[in-house]
Structures are given as C-alpha cells and as structure tokens.
Structure 1
C-alpha cells in the first residue's frame, strides 16, 4: 500500500521498539498468541461443577411468560423504568446478595451480575487470551454494514471479537500504551490546559458570583476534544474559542454527547431497532454520519500533510497518528475516530467529577495545591514528565474520583467456558456484568467508603484508611486484562495536566446542594457543574 510516496509493507513491519529478550518481534508474539488461542480448552467443566447449584436457581426478579423481564424497563408499567443503572445494581446487591440474574431480556437472553471480587477475579482469570466483551450492536452495524465503504473491514477494537480483535489490538497496543508515546504530548496538552484555565477566567468574569455557567460540562467536553485532537489528528481544533452553536467544532462536541445517549437507547435499553426504522434511529444515523465524515475529513487532511515526510522520519520521532498511518491507514482511521469520540464524554465527565469533589472538599483541594506549588513554583512553570512524576497526591485524587465516579460502572464479558461463580453453574456463553461501581462504595472494601479521601491511595500512608489490603478486583476503573481501556495512559495524563493547571491557578468552591450522578452509556455528573472560581494569588 502506498500513501503519498510512502510504501507500507505490513507483513514485515515491526510494531514495537521495546527491547525484548532473544530478539522476539511482535510478529513472533502474534504467532505465539494465535497458537495459544487456538489451543485453549473451552469444553472441559470445572472440578466443582457437579457440587454447584444449577443456573436456574440464581436469584433475581421473576420474568413473565413471553415478554420476560423487558416489561420492567417500560414506562408506566415497569418498576425499573427511569431508575439509574447504578442504583438498580445497588438494589440487586441489597436484595439478592453476591450474585443475581436478569432473565429474558431483549438486549440479552440472560445477564448475570457479580458482586464478589473473588468471583470477578475468577471470571477474568478464565477469559482466555481473546476475551469476549459484548459489542455495541447498533454501533457495530453502522460501521461494519452501513458504512463499510468508509471503514473497509476495520471497524475498530470495539466492534470485533476473537482473533479479529487480537489482530487489531496487538498492532495498536505498542503505539498507544507506551509511556514514551504519551510523554511526547505533554507540552501541547499543557498548552490546551492553560487555554481551559483562560476560558474559565472569561466565564467567571461574566457572572457576578464568578460561577461557571450551568452547561460548563460542555467546556470540559471541548477541552477533551481539543486534547484528543492532538493525539488523533496532530492538530489543534480551536474547541476552546467562543464557538457559535452551528460551528463545525461545536456540532462535533454536541453530536458526540448525543451519540452516547443514542447508543444507550439502542444497545442498553430494550429496543426494536433491528426490526423497525424509527425517527430516533434515523437521527442516530445522521449523528454518526456527521461525526464520522467530519473526522475522516480531518484525518485525510492530516495524512496528506504528513505523507511525504514519513519516508524520511525515524520511528522514534513519529507521532501516534504517523505510526498508525504507517502501520495501516484503515486501522489509523478507526483508531483515530475512536480516540476522538471516546475521549470527549469520558475524560470530560471524569474531570468534571474531580473538580466537583475538590470544590466540595476544600481540605483536599488545599493539600493538592500545596503539592502543586512545590513542583510548579510559579503559574507559568511548564508541566513536564519529571514534574508529573512528583505528584502522588494528584494521582491519588484522580483514583479517588474514579472510585466514586467510574465512567464504566460494569465490566462485561461473555463466558468462554463453563464456570462456577457464587456457588452456581454458569454455562459457557453467558453474559456477565461485574458490578465494580457498586463494590467501590461499600464499607466492606473501603474504610469510610462514602468519604472522599485520596490519602487511601498513597503508598505508605495512614494504615487506618489505606486500601492496600482491598481485593484488587474491586476497583477496575479501566477494565482488566487484554481488553482493558486502550486510552488509559493518555487519559490519566490529560487529567493530571489539566487538574494541575486549574488547581494551581484557581480556587474552587461548591455553594450548592450535593451533586447528583447519573448513568447512561457512561457514568458522571448529572447536575449543572456551577463551580465558583477565584484566582490564586501567586
């Protein structure tokens, strides 16, 4: 394949520059895992299978004939209608204990919910080298069927399973997960964070109480898109300017937020989209088309600008997008679009939650600012990787935020073999949700679990509140194993930089009632984020 004079030989291309023993290349590792995957034994039953209770005995709400439990989510007649998913999981835990089941749903035949970290660990330890995580069916249909002319068989890691998933993930992992690749963006991300601080000052000056506007979460979403654009497009998008409502950039932000809501309607709640084309479905396609075509335009412009330069550029000098383009333009396209869309609502909401908790807990905010003033003696001191390495309390604040407010309240797997979980037989092919979002707020696992205490994450900190002995499978904010979040390292770095800039420059206050958090496809702040901000003196 050739782009602007650069020849891409995918069969011979090494995918990692990390040193490995015995000159083992990524290609050899691929062959190894492919062979290992083909040799997995998914047919044998566990030794304790015959002693376990049958699957049919798992406790849960009783389904009705024909319609199952779907009616519970319908308006007027359903006792689950309008109930936040995290609250629903919490109710199940209180009513049924460490394992429960929702039977006979349109979105899945049965869904088992796990509330035991030991069972969650057992599930993940038996997921094989190619874990099966249920795809978003409507989203996959759009990329692989409706717009296959655009994605050309590579819809991204979120749309495939098994060896197809592994073939993509094994190529992008060495690019997106290397610390060195993330560190090359620190300077530019710091500039974006400074622009957000300037924007917050402007917004505060427009309000006599110096409060952020009710839709301030949109500003955080625009910051998140601007930061994602650096990684996925090698360019600034101008998201933090004063945008008019119908500008391309503002529409992108709004449409991505709407996309997450629409996916929730079609892939989480009961839906007949496979059988009936409704106005909401047509709106969904319109939204996805706008997002896809706009981002493809950006990617093509960037590829055109850098294409001639790649042939004379050393790999260690390349950006993430340049490496992906050199690897496979189809993978570059899908990965770039995923980076741009996934980063907006997820990183934006987590950052919003962190700002709320800091405003709500002034002692924590003061302690964080003291740490930041030590490493950033002036407001103009640039953020570097060395400085970020000296901010343990900042990292603890982010961890505590994701304990309270994880973007994903569950990890989802389909069992690839028969298992015994919670004392019950779980047949191969069962959909299982691990309710980590509920467990993370239980006193059983975290001392003073309802209090925002970043100190619990500090190594060698106070023993009374330390989470050192908490089961490691209670807290999985980015998932687990081979299918853990690809953007974890970049997302954490983005949040570290922006929180460092904001807290170093601004005092935050929260003169309102407690924030309500809501769950659709992602979990996050549900009320207007009307932070009150004042300037730090020096």
Structure 2
C-alpha cells in the first residue's frame, strides 16, 4: 500500500505494452499508400494469447537454471557492496560467467530492476524470440529517463518523449514518421561533405595534441576528443550547424559542459535503471544531480533547436522536400517530434559513436598489419590527403567497412538486446510466459569460437565477401551478431553512425600512423560497452 501510494504521488504510471498482438494476416489489399493503416490494423488485431504447440512438452519456467534468490530480498543482494558476489563485476563478464555455468539459457530471479530476467545464449532461440515479437516489439524503456521526459518535463516534450520512451501504437506512430527521414541513404549522403570537414578538424586536433607530447601520444582523456567530434558530427544532422566542439575549449564552456554532462548522463542512467535503485521511492542527492544534468542537456539543446528553427523560418514553405535537411523535414512533419528526435540524436550519438571509434583506433594501432592494409585501400581511393571523401569513394572501401564490423563484434556498444515477450514462448526447452523480460547475450556470443573462427583475434577479412573460406563468417548464424539490434526497433541512427565512422577513420588512417605501446586495453560496461583505459595512442604523420 505504501509503495503504491508513493508511486502514485511520483506520477510514475506507465501504460506501455498493453496492445494485444498477433501475426495473423490482414485480408485487406496492401499497397504502399495504405501501409501505415495496414500495420495499425495488424497491430490492433493481433492476439498472442494462444500457447505454442510445444508448450506442454517444455520444462516449467521455474526450472530455468540460475543463481538462487533469497527470501524477500531475492538476488538483489548479489549486486550490493561487501556482501554481493556480483558487485563490481563487469556486466559482460557476468554474462560470460552465466554462459559457462548454466549453458544456453539462464535466469536472474527476483531483482528490483525487474522481477525476472532471462538470458539467451542460443542464436536459434534469439531468432525465435525476435520472430515472435510482432509489429510493435516491446523493448524495455529506461524508466528514470522516461519519467523525466513524460512526467517531470512534460511541458517541454509535450507528449512526445521520443521513440525510446514509448511502446505499442504510440511508438509506431512516431517511428513510422521518422523512419523515412533518418533511414534513407539519400538523406545520409547529403552530410558527407560537412562530416568530412569535421573529420579533418579532428585530424588537425590530433596533430596539435601529439605536438604537445614528446612521445607524440594522445592525452589520457583523448576519448573526450572523440566525444567532442561525435557531438560536432551529430550537430550537423540534428541542428544544421557547427558547434565548435573541436576548438580548445575551457572546462566551463557550454560545449564542454554538454559533452561532460552527456557522458555523466549515461553513467547516471546506469545507476538508476540497470543497478538496483530506490529512485522511485525516495529522492537522493544522486537523483537530484541526475535531474540537474538532464535539465542542462535538455534546455541547452532546446535552445539550439529553437535558434535553428527560427533561422529556417518561412524558408520551408518554398523548399522542395528533396532539398530539405533532416531537421527541416522533421520540423515540417511535427515540431514536437523534431525536438525529441534531435535531442536523441545529439545525446545518443556522443558516447556510443565516440566509444566505437575509439575502439576501432585501438584495434588498428594494436594490429599494424590490419592498419597497413586499410591504409593501402584508402590511398587507392584517396590519392592525396586533400582528396575529398564522397559517397562514390565510400562505396569502394570494403575493408574499411569490415574493420568497423570487426570492431563492433569485439566491442559492441550494446552487449544485449532486450525484449519483453508478448506471447507465451518455448525457449531453450523451457516455458517462457508472456510478459517476461529477455536479454539476448549477443556480446558474449560474438566472441565464442563456435560462431567465429579465431574469435579472439581481430580479423576484418572474415567480413569480406568471397574472402578466405577458413575465416569467413558467411555460415555464422545471422542472429549471433546484432550490433544495432533487430527488426522494427533496430537502431534508428545505424546508417548515419556507420557513415560518420567510415569518414573519420578514413581521414585518420590516411593521414596518421597509429601505435599502441601499452598493455592491452581493458573494456568496461555500464549503460554502454567500450574502452575502459586511457586511449593514449601514439601518432606519427603519413608522408604523402
């Protein structure tokens, strides 16, 4: 009763995932023009109440192996300091331990963050899960983040908190509108020239930093420079403007604070939505800090968006759609959607793209033969350092794309994909009831020898079409490697993020040699997975 009363006061009432879903076909004729209506009908007509044919032959849910919970406190104690055997253990390492101890399916029961979490380590089961998620898949939201946007600051977001905060038809109504804008290759290609300029600025910045050190090493906090590059690139897409992130910024400057606060935001979300937390019941100093950080990020980005919208003004009325930028098209569609999507693009792109690029640079420095082979490819398509990057040039860089894929195999930003089952399923030979939270442990599977030959070695050649058969991943199960998720809820920014990384890696490797004269990099996991040690790359100039 007390808990319910507190939750009511806090206003945390979520109505996500209540749509009844089914995969039954709709009899109406379907055309491109009524596709949205078709999917709305399909979603509303789906019924996932029937049990699968193999349900009665499966083992009961209670028999799924996993650490035994204690009465009342469940398994939450395992994550607490001093008494918990999981405390301080990296999440990817914890998932790996579960795989070795329990096999292809495991469960964490009785947690504060979720009643039960099932972990899948079988690509066949992962495929089955995704094939049965319906047209409106339910991916668990970040509750503290959703509460901030939909409750605390609903005056700013006006009912549109973004695709990451909603489920069901509400999610579909937003996603179906932004997909044609953010996922089109043509929309991404219009930013290549400007992104190339930003990449060139990062190379200049790296030269400056190298010249300040007698060993020509990047500073211990070089990952911050990559985060600033990522914000600068995201600003082109979300705001149609340069932010000046790669200048020599003073610590208290607005831009530097934005970068620092976004990184802190990811860490705080991890504290409230991944680790056990009482934020729903009591306000703590850490919670107040979280709101301060989110307010600064939100209000600063809203200011930028409003300035851009004001500059655009009435120009939209006389502009053909094919000439419009992503922000212009979003503003024309719905200013509320434009605001939420722009803020998501700016915040989500900093730590994720920055860390993946940092990992790629580390692997290239750590594997000089791979770096040399990539540079040879780049020198063919970029004969001089000044040759501009174009979409035609990017199309001729298969090894560059393979390097990025191999980086995300070794170091995926998201080590799991999360779904809530919308029907009863049999997974791993066990009954999985409707409404169960399931984590697919793709980050662990991608480093297993049964799926990738020489899985602990950085070998981009495995991704080259018609490459060496001995190392090819052509026959690897397609649901082992899902770095951007799967299906309708796959990452919206996949195309843009890949293009940003292709351009910046092309510029860096074409201009600079990278070395790694240190011990092996440690990778860590909080809300995202990535480099955990100082990224002290040693750089020298490429002659021509």
The question of a shared fold, defined as TM-score above 0.5 by the shorter chain, is answered with yes
1:125 to 1:13, Cα distance in 2 relative to 1, 3 A: closer
Runs of 4+ in structure 1 off by over 4 angstroms are 1-27
Q: Give the direction of change, closer, same or farther, for the CA distance of 1:335–1:404 in structure 2 (3 Å limit).
A: same
Residue-by-residue CA offset, 1:311-335 (whole Å, 9 max, x unaligned): 0000000000000000000000000
C-alpha separation between the residues in 2 aligned to 1:73 and 1:4? Answer: 26
Deviation at 1:30, TM superposition (A): 1.2
TM-score (norm 2): 0.95
Please name the residue that 2:151 is paired with. Answer: 145
Match of 1:313 among 310, 319, 326: 319
Q: CA RMSD in A?
A: 5.7
Q: More displaced, 445-454 or 17-26?
A: 17-26
Q: Which moved more, 1:14-23 or 1:269-278?
A: 14-23
Q: Secondary structure at the match of 2:145?
A: helix
* Cα shift readout 1:158-194 (whole Å, capped 9, x = no counterpart): 0000000000000000000000000000000000000
Measured after TM superposition, the shift of residue 8 of structure 1 is 30
Deviation at 1:26, TM superposition (A): 6.5
C-alpha contact (below 8 Å) 1:417/1:428 kept by paired residues: yes
**Is the Cα–Cα contact under 8 Å of residues 22 and 42 in structure 2 kept in the other structure?**
no
Offset of 1:11 from its aligned partner? 25
Partner deviation per Cα, 1:209-228 (whole Å, 9 max, x = no partner)? 00000000000000000000
Q: Taking structure 1 as the reference length, what is the TM-score of the superposition?
A: 0.96
Could you say if the C-alpha distance between residues 107 and 445 of structure 1 is closer, same or farther in structure 2, counting changes exceeding 3 Å?
Answer: same
CA contact (8 A) 2:40 2:169 kept: yes
Deviation at 1:41, TM superposition (A): 2.1
Equivalent residue for 1:210? 216
Taking structure 1 as reference, are residues 437 and 14 closer, same or farther at Cα in structure 2, changes over 3 Å only? closer
Could you report, residue by residue, the CA deviation over 1:473-530 in whole angstroms, capped at 9, with x for unpaired residues?
Answer: 0000000000000000000000000000000000000000000000000000000000
Count of residue correspondences? 538
Distance 2:280 2:340 in 1: 24
Question: What CA distance in whole angstroms lies between the structure 2 residues aligned with 1:203 and 1:419?
Answer: 55
8 Å contact from structure 1 (residues 517, 525) kept in 2? yes
Q: 1:368-402: per-residue Cα shift (whole Å, max 9, x none)?
A: 00000000000000000000000000000000000
- Please, which runs of 5 or more residues in structure 2 have no aligned partner? 1-6
Residue 439 of structure 1 and its aligned partner are, at CA, apart by 0.0
In the TM superposition, what is the alpha-carbon distance from 1:17 to its structure 2 partner? 28
Against the structure 1 CA distance between its residues 373 and 4, is the aligned structure 2 distance closer, same or farther, given a 3 Å change threshold? Answer: farther
| Contact persistence 1:3–1:307 (CA under 8 A) | no
SS in 2 for 1:59: coil
Please give the alpha-carbon distance, in whole angstroms, between the structure 2 residues aligned to 1:15 and 1:429: 12
1:228 aligns with 2:234: yes
- DSSP 3-state at the match of 2:539: strand
Q: Do the aligned partners of residues 48 and 489 (structure 1) sit closer, same or farther apart at CA in structure 2, a change above 3 Å counting?
A: same
The structure-2 alpha-carbon separation of the partners of 1:76 and 1:3, relative to structure 1 and needing over 3 Å to count, comes to closer
Q: Is the 8 A contact 1:6 1:310 kept in 2?
A: no
Shift of 1:29: 1.4
Over 3 Å counting, the alpha-carbon distance change for 1:8 and 1:122 in structure 2 is closer
Structure 1 residue 304: Cα displacement: 0.3
Secondary structure, counterpart of 2:238 in structure 1:
helix
Using the alignment, how far apart are the partners of 1:236 and 1:482 within structure 2? 31
Gaps of 5+ in 1: none
Deviations 1:71-111 (A, max 9, x none): 00000000000000000000000000000000000000000
Give the corresponding residue for 1:289: 295
